[in-house]
Amino acid sequence: MDIVIENLTKRYGVQKAVDNISLKVATGEILGFLGPNGAGKTTTMKIITNFIAADEGDVYIGGKSLKSDPLEIKRHIGYLPENNPLYQEMPVVDYLLFCARINGIEKPKVESRVAEMIRITGLNSEKHKKISELSKGYRQRVGLAQAMIHDPEILILDEPTSGLDPNQIAEIRKLIRELGREKTVILSTHILPEVEATCDRIFIINKGKLVADGTAESLRKKAQGSDILRVRIEDGDINQIFKGLQSLSAVSMVDFADRQKNRFDVHCKSEEVKREIFRLCVTRNWVLTEMTPFETSLEDIFRELTMN
């Protein structure tokens, strides 16, 4: 089930928390939803899940308008809010049984569905404890279990790995990737490596506006403007090497990366650049000791797009 957001706007007084955002997320796609604090991520997620109403624009879930058919659409969405509200005095099992019933799961299937969620989220050893007695990581797992209890086609997860240890984060990443094969997932997080490890596509907003939309690879290429190779060439004069690299037809620009170690950043026009560099070194009797792709990190891209 796909999600289509059209010209979404939400105001709080004179401030636009969400400013004319449009977005499409396809079935089976995991979208990483990024932005600094106050950028409008949580507001957008609350609108998609119908917790709050938009001032302008609309959201379509499986072709149906959120404005015209909100209750039907809610049945297809699982939502883990950022603050993960839970009934603290309820034991885990009782809470999930309650969630299953209010989500309309048929009575004969309730217990088996709860057992499945406990297994998937690794809550078996904690299932009889009160939620108030759990660590933050286990409370987060309970929140994930309630979001998935009714097997929704769409999952909206706001900081799903907050408070988890590295092993738990790896397990939840694996779970989200598995769910993403057949569900539509929007995942908000501040952990950028998590986005690269989990998400098919990245959507970045800043001050309520869209500033980037694409895969991690496409965002890197756009930030760099071209592919870059980090090259180290020895047994030659550094200036002669620089001029030689600049003369190659597949090279658009050369920068000094480290003069002491004869390292250069070579901006490429075409895939032939590696062959040309190799042939140049053979012709000049230079020794090519390093040639690796140089990638702009997702953190660098994020900072560049959201610092203003």
Residue 308 included in any domain? no
Q: How far is CA 135 from the centre of its chain?
A: 25
The mean predicted confidence, pLDDT, of the chain is: 89
Calpha distance 280→287 (Å, rounded): 10
Q: Are residues 267 and 205 in the same domain?
A: no
Domain that holds residue 75: 3-221
Q: What is the pLDDT of residues 207-262, one digit of tens each?
A: 999 998 988 878 877 765 557 889 999 999 999 999 999 999 999 889 998 998 99
Q: Are residues 112 and 39 in the same domain?
A: yes
Domain boundary among 168, 202, 221: 221
Q: Are residues 211 and 263 in the same domain?
A: no
**In degrees rounded to 5, what are phi and psi of residue 293?**
-65, 135
Q: Are residues 87 and 107 in the same domain?
A: yes
Residue 300 included in any domain? no
Q: What is the pLDDT of residues 5-17, one digit of tens each?
A: 999 999 998 899 9
36 dihedral zone (left: phi>0; alpha: psi -120 to 50; beta): beta
Q: Are residues 211 and 269 in the same domain?
A: no
Task: Give the predicted TM-score (pTM) of the model.
Answer: 0.74
Q: What is the pLDDT of residues 33-75, one digit of tens each?
A: 998 888 899 999 999 998 899 999 999 998 899 888 888 888 8
Q: Are residues 196 and 290 in the same domain?
A: no
